[in-house]
Amino acid sequence: MWVLGSSHTAEDYPFNVKAIGIYKIYLGVENHRGELTYYKVYVKFRNQTEALSDESNEGSSVLDSIFEYGVFLRNEEIWEKIVTFSFEGISFDGNSCRVSNLVLEGHVLSAEKSTSWNGNNRGFYFQLLFELWIYNVTVSRFQYHNRFVSIWLNMTTSA
């Protein structure tokens, strides 16, 4: 599983973002399991203080998924998607920043996250998180595959 920047390389990731910008990344999954596999990629949005994983939840993030991609891949097959995103309802109040909506590929998704000013890193930090889950036919449900990729975003009034 991977995420690449806007130039389809491990560079040019969006970082300083604002409400009027539209941003692009590449999200990919490759199957090396030796068989046809049904994957789901859950998209989550977190602030800098929310936990990344929870061992009682199979090690995945306890955050609710706000979007998902589902794909069947044969062995050695690759799925890659250009993911565009933007934000709506960004507000700043003193030392806090609130994001109301994440717009992912034209879908307006409720994010409802706030974060405090990070004095050490000088920003309002959020993270766009992608978790990989695999359908387990033995137990007839999706299970976290212990893989995720993410990008950090600094919400700004100007980028």
- Torsion 110-71-134-137 (CA) sign: positive
Q: What is the pLDDT of residue 59?
A: 80
Q: In terms of pTM, does the model score above 0.85? A: yes
Q: What is the pLDDT of residues 14-33, one digit of tens each?
A: 999 998 899 999 999 999 99
Q: With contact defined as beta carbons under 8 Å apart, do 61 and 46 qualify? A: yes
Q: What is the pLDDT of residues 72-126, one digit of tens each?
A: 999 999 999 999 999 999 999 999 999 999 999 999 999 999 999 998 989 999 9
Residue 18 has, within 13 A of its CA and on its CB side, a CA count of: 6
- In this structure, CATH architecture of domain 2-155: Sandwich (2.60)
The predicted model gives 39-67 an average pLDDT of 86
Q: What is the pLDDT of residue 159?
A: 46
Q: What is the pLDDT of residue 123?
A: 93
Q: What is the pLDDT of residue 83?
A: 98
Helix, strand, or coil here: 115?
strand
Task: Judge whether residue 135 has pLDDT over 90.
Answer: yes
Where is pLDDT greater, at 25 or 55? Answer: 25
Q: Where are the domains of the chain?
A: 2-155
Residue type, 97: C
Query: What's the CA gap between 23 and 136, in Å, rounded?
Result: 34
